[in-house]
Amino acid sequence: MLKVESIDVFYGNIQALKGVSLEVQEGEIVTLIGANGAGKSTLLKTISGLLKPKHGDILYEGQSIAGKAAQMIVKQGISHVPEGRRIFANMTVEENLELGAFLRKDKDGIRQDFEKVYQLFPRLHERRKQLAGTLSGGEQQMLAMGRALMARPRLLLLDEPSMGLAPLLVKTIFRIIEEINSFGTTILLVEQNANMALSVADRAYVIESGRVVLSGSAEELNASEQVKMAYLGGH
Amino acid sequence: MELIQQLVNGISLGSIYALIALGYTMVYGIVRLINFAHGDVFMVGAFVGFYAITSLNLGFFPALLLAMVVCALLGVIIERIAYKPLRNATRIAALITAIGVSLFIEYGTIYVRGAQPEAYPSTLLPDKSIEVFGVTISSQSLLILCTSIVLMILLQLIVHKTKIGKAMRAVSYDSEAARLMGINVDNTISATFAIGSALAGAAGVIFGIYYIKIEPLMGIIPGLKAFVAAVLGGIGIIPGAMVGGLALGVIEALVSGLGYSLWRDGVAFIVLILILIFRPSGLFGKNVREKV
Ligand SMILES: Nc1ncnc2c1ncn2[C@@H]1O[C@H](COP(=O)(O)OP(=O)(O)OP(=O)(O)O)[C@@H](O)[C@H]1O
Ligand SMILES: [Mg+2]
């Protein structure tokens, strides 16, 4: 479904990604783990069109999307839940969700998706008239995910959805990620919480200083000494 | 009664400031740029309205509409040519460019049509006096006030109810997140310039009808005062610009009414200094959200 082919991405003359390749098959949950500054967010931003790769290509369903405008990529079915949620705090929950469906014209479909999102996140329904900035961190994460789902994506990019959440809430969020996946949405999940990420993922990539250093099935990586040492707290 | 009369004048003047201030504030909200050419767009609107009325024999509303359309286009062109290439440049570069654009429009207008002033025909709108509770209000200022209010209500509807309005708010809050929603940031910025400039154009025509005399440098002082109004209300905040404009108009009129009419222009800048000292985020500004 998605194929990233040895891309190089720069910020000015700092190279953040060095020949990164990665693949996501339809229906999978693929996770990308790595330390701070490894280049995880950079990769997601490049896929969703916020950044352009200098070299290499990104294929989505066989077509190159590298360097295309972000709105074209959303239109083609890739939604990105950015790191730090980035919800529109000065708008209501409902308006945030509406913006998620910005490019859609199918009124009935949008209404159905509102219901789906409210079913997935009942909290959001209770707070739909409330300003998004007044939500708790966990609720904001739910809103960011709900907002992305409103585009009815076929591929969902999630950047550290568990960041800053209490353990119980992290569990809830991961359960919901699996639920979203079970409805047929493919997921590329960036996480620092490698334990949780590997427990829901089918396959995983490990990225270090802009390079993919390891990849394999989630079980393989869970068992790997290298991953245990670096990302699973050595147990 | 004299005081109330002044108050009415102040509200009329203030509604002109408010219309101009809206453009400053909307543009600042979305691209963090003080568009110093905005007062000149107001001037162009006044001239378009003047020529529409005198040469094309249009009535008030068609002339108003034409001025708004021309100014909307002008605003979009200014943004595309002068500001867009500088979007990632330093603020000072953009600011200097804005001043350059302002001078270009002012002296370009003088080059094209000369520096001589023009006078709006005074017969355009019926000028009856209406007596309300002992205060005489001219039907003209009433119509002007109503037009401004309708335009401001329209703006609120656009900003809160339409798709482009929601896109404008989203981009001004977080343009990268807006891009992830599929919003075309360039078009949204153009729309913001178009709407803000159309309001300035309307203000130009209204100004001409109210104050009769127009000339190519007429945009400077109202432009500066509208800027003060925008800062007073809280730059970037739409209702702030409306209230700031009205407040400034009323303050000026009251100062004149108390017999200090020579202080009229000065008082606006005293207000600016006071607000910058005591409440830099403006009347409506909450915590200042500096973009990182
Ligand atoms: N806007 C930017 N300008 C310059 N350098 C940047 C920018 N954003 C990221 N970088 C650099 O690119 C590298 C990769 O950053 P990135 O945000 O992709 O890391 P990350 O893996 O997402 O880290 P984290 O887990 O902390 O979110 C880092 O060295 C970072 O300093
Ligand atoms: Mg990151």
The structure's pTM equals 0.91
Domain boundary residue, one of A104, A131, A152: A152
pLDDT tens digit string along B205-262?
A: 999 998 999 999 999 999 999 999 999 999 988 999 999 999 999 999 989 888 888 8
What's the pLDDT band for B291 if we cut at 50, 70, 90?
Answer: very low
Position A50 pLDDT exceeds 80:
yes
Q: A118 and A163 share a domain?
A: no
Residue in B170, B176, B183 closest to A50 by CB: B176
Collect all residues with Cβ–Cβ distance below 8 Å to B87 and sequence separation of at least 6: B31
Distance CA A227, CA A233 (A): 9
Look-up of token digits 């002296």: B107
Residue in B166, B169, B182 closest to A103 by CB: B182
Q: Does residue A134 fall inside a structural domain?
A: yes
Q: A165 and A219 share a domain?
A: yes
pLDDT tens digit string along A91-130?
A: 999 999 999 999 999 999 999 999 999 999 999 999 999 9
Instruction: Give percent of chain A above pLDDT 70.
Output: 99
Nearest Cα neighbor of A160 from A196, A117, A120 is A196
CB-based contact, A103 to chain B, within 8 Å: yes
pLDDT of res. A111: 97
CB-based contact, A98 to chain B, within 8 Å: yes
A182: tokens are 């079970």
Distance CA B147, CA B125 (A): 13
Q: A123 and A207 share a domain?
A: no
CATH code of residue A33 = 3.40.50.300
Q: A72 and A177 share a domain?
A: yes
Domain boundary residue, one of A129, A152, A175: A152
pLDDT tens digit string along B43-67?
A: 999 999 999 999 999 999 999 999 9
Q: Does residue A10 fall inside a structural domain?
A: no
Q: A37 and A101 share a domain?
A: no
Q: A96 and A120 share a domain?
A: yes
Q: A126 and A114 share a domain?
A: yes
Q: Which stretch of DSSP H or E encloses residue A23?
A: strand A14-24
Measure A36 CA to ligand 1 centroid, in angstroms: 8
Which residue type occupies B26? M
- Whether the ipTM is more than 0.85: the answer is yes
B122: tokens are 């005074």
Residue in A82, A89, A91 closest to B180 by CB: A82
Tell me which residues have their CB closer than 6 angstroms to ligand 1: A 11, 14, 16, 34, 36-42, 83, 192
Q: A137 and A174 share a domain?
A: no
Contact B170 A99 (CB under 8 A): yes
Nearest Cα neighbor of B187 from A54, A103, A78 is A103
Contact A70 B170 (CB under 8 A): no
Q: What residues make up the domain containing A93?
A: 87-152
Q: Does residue A130 fall inside a structural domain?
A: yes
Q: Does residue A63 fall inside a structural domain?
A: no
Distance CA A106, CA A95 (A): 17
Measure A228 CA to ligand 2 centroid, in angstroms: 21
Q: A130 and A140 share a domain?
A: yes
Measure A39 CA to ligand 1 centroid, in angstroms: 6
**Domain range annotation of chain B:** 2-121+141-278
Q: A129 and A38 share a domain?
A: no
Q: What is the count of structural domains for chain A?
A: 2
Q: Find the DSSP H helices in chain A.
A: 40-47, 70-75, 93-100, 107-120, 122-126, 137-149, 167-182, 194-200, 218-223, 225-231
Q: Does residue A1 fall inside a structural domain?
A: no
Quick one: which atom of ligand 1 is closest to the CA of A190? Answer: 22
CATH class of this structure's domain B2-121+141-278: mainly alpha
For a ligand 1 pocket test, name from A10, A11, A163 the mutation site with the most ligand atoms within 8 angstroms of its C-beta: A11
Size of interface A-B (CB pairs under 8 A): 60
Instruction: Give percent of chain B above pLDDT 90.
Output: 71
Indicate the pairing of strand A155-159 with strand A78-81: parallel
Name the closest-CA residue to atom 5, ligand 1. A11
Q: A184 and A163 share a domain?
A: yes
Domain boundary residue, one of A97, A130, A152: A152
Q: A129 and A166 share a domain?
A: no
Report the interhelical angle of B238-257 vs B220-233 (nearest 10°).
120
